[in-house]
């Protein structure tokens, strides 16, 4: 307990082991892949269908040990790049009785417990819903559900073992009645973005739909939707604590 008598904050992250795997494991795998490539160039160059043939032939002509040292170095560098990307994408969740903080290298958001009705994991996303059923936060994560559940429950947050609104979702098809004005056009645009694997566009369109009271669930590139109270009160876009974060997001 801290001096005020409250439970101290709980931090959920991959921890030192995850960093060790990222910064130790991936460079080692890259080094191993580089060594195998150097050892196999003589065999690969004889294959008629080998990809990157010009590169393989160039490696095969290099003298030893320069060829092996070079491919190992490139493999280690590739492993370090992957480790850097993985570190940047790590989600760190800090929870106390008043708020939850969600941090990545490029964003830092804070959500007040007073604004949040329920927290759960769905399709490898941490989701926080407000009292209206709208999404305050939806963040991809590989953090263990048991650790997240324990952290939120320890500080009195409402944790659910699954989406409590899942039975309310309906499969979207074009021109389906019951959607707010403009939602069908946004859903059509988002379907195209999903088919073309334009994830940033799909994410932005999800946010636009949320502003008019439509919450989405994706399954096998199909969109399922449900409505919140905002869909019945056009123009009601009250800022939440998640939108008033220290980074202005």
% of the chain exceeding 70 in pLDDT: 80
- Inter-residue contact 98 to 225 (CB < 8 Å): no
- Report residue 190's pLDDT band, with 50, 70 and 90 as the boundaries: very high
> How far from each other are the two terminal CA atoms of the chain, in whole angstroms?
32
Share of the chain above pLDDT 90, in %: 46
Secondary element (H or E) of residue 93: strand 92-95
pLDDT at 214: 95
In tens, the pLDDT along 141-153 reads 989 999 999 999 9
What is the C-alpha separation between 249 and 246, in angstroms, rounded? 8
What SS3 class is residue 233? coil
Say if residue 205's pLDDT is above 60.
yes
Is the per-residue pLDDT at 2 higher than 50?
Answer: no
Q: What integer pLDDT is reported at residue 1 of this predicted model?
A: 45
Q: Residue 124: pLDDT above 50?
A: yes
Task: Indicate whether 112 pLDDT > 70.
Answer: yes
- pLDDT of residue 100 exceeding 60, the answer is yes
pLDDT of residue 187 exceeding 50, the answer is yes
pLDDT of 18 > 70? The answer is no
Output DSSP code: residue 51.
S
- Distance, in Å, from the CA atom of 162 to the CA atom of 169, rounded to the nearest integer, reads 14
What ranges in 95-212 are assigned the alpha helix state H?
Answer: 145-154, 183-195, 199-211
Between the ranges 5-19, 45-59, 75-89, 214-228, where is the mean pLDDT highest? 214-228
Q: What's the rounded mean pLDDT across residues 145-174?
A: 94
| CA–CA distance, 118 with 44 (Å, rounded to integer) | 55
Query: pLDDT band at residue 210, thresholds of 50, 70 and 90?
Result: very high
The residue that leads in pLDDT, 210 or 106, is 210
Mean pLDDT of the chain: 82
Confidence at 246, pLDDT banded by 50, 70, 90 = very low
- Length of the chain equals 249
Please say if the pLDDT value at position 222 is more than 80: yes
Select the more confidently predicted residue: 32 or 93: 93
The pLDDT score that the predictor gives to residue 4 is: 44
Among 102, 139, 104, which residue's Cα sits nearest to residue 241?
Answer: 102
| Mean pLDDT of the 11-28 span | 73
Token pair recorded at residue 51: 């990809």
Q: What is the pLDDT of residue 36?
A: 81
* pLDDT single digits (tens) 22-77: 667 777 887 888 778 777 776 666 777 767 667 766 766 777 777 788 777 877 88
């Amino acid at each position: 307990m801290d001096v005020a008598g409250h439970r101290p904050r709980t931090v959920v992250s991959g921890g030192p082991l995850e960093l060790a795997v990222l910064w130790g494991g991936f460079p080692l795998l890259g080094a191993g892949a580089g060594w195998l490539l150097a050892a196999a160039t003589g065999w690969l160059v004889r294959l008629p269908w080998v990809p990157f043939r010009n590169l393989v032939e160039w490696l095969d002509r290099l003298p030893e040990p320069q060829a092996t040292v070079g491919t190992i170095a490139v493999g280690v560098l590739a492993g370090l790049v992957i480790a850097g990307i993985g570190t940047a994408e790590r989600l760190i969740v800090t929870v106390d009785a008043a708020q939850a903080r969600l941090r990545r290298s490029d964003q830092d958001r804070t959500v007040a417990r007073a604004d949040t009705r329920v927290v759960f994991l769905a399709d490898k996303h941490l989701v926080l819903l407000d009292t209206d059923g709208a999404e305050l936060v939806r963040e991809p994560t590989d953090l263990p559900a048991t650790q997240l559940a324990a952290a939120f429950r320890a500080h009195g947050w409402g944790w659910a073992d699954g989406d409590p609104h899942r039975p309310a979702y309906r499969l979207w098809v074009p021109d389906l009645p019951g959607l707010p004005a403009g939602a069908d056009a946004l859903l059509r645009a988002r379907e195209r973005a999903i088919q073309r694997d334009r994830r940033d566009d799909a994410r932005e369109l999800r946010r636009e739909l949320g502003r008019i009271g439509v919450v989405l669930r994706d399954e096998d590139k199909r969109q399922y939707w449900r409505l919140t109270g905002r869909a019945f009160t056009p123009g009601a876009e009250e800022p939440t604590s998640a939108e008033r974060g220290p980074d202005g997001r």
